[in-house]
Amino acid sequence: IEDEPLVRQRLERLTREILRPGAVVHSVPGLDDAELLLRDRVVDVVLLDLSLEGDDGFALLRRSAAGAFHTIV
């Protein structure tokens, strides 16, 4: 979850290189998209920009930590 397009593209590329072949990687620009993605899919890892333009990444982290999946900060 990264609002800066160039940074988001680089993180996505690096994540694909690090993870096993065939791993599914999603990248989204903001918290609204992230919440939809997390609601609809089971994920293993989230890379979260805590200072998103106009949004607070900590808010998503707080909601996620209160949810049904295990959160490591």
Rounded Cα gap, residues 64 and 58, in angstroms: 10
pTM over 0.85: no
Confidence at 68, pLDDT banded by 50, 70, 90 = low
| pLDDT tens by residue, 2-59 | 999 999 999 999 999 998 888 899 999 999 999 899 888 888 888 988 888 878 888 8
Q: Radius of gyration over alpha carbons of the chain, in Å?
A: 12
Beta strands in the chain (DSSP E): 51-52, 55-56
CB under 8 Å to 42, separation ≥6 — which residues? 69
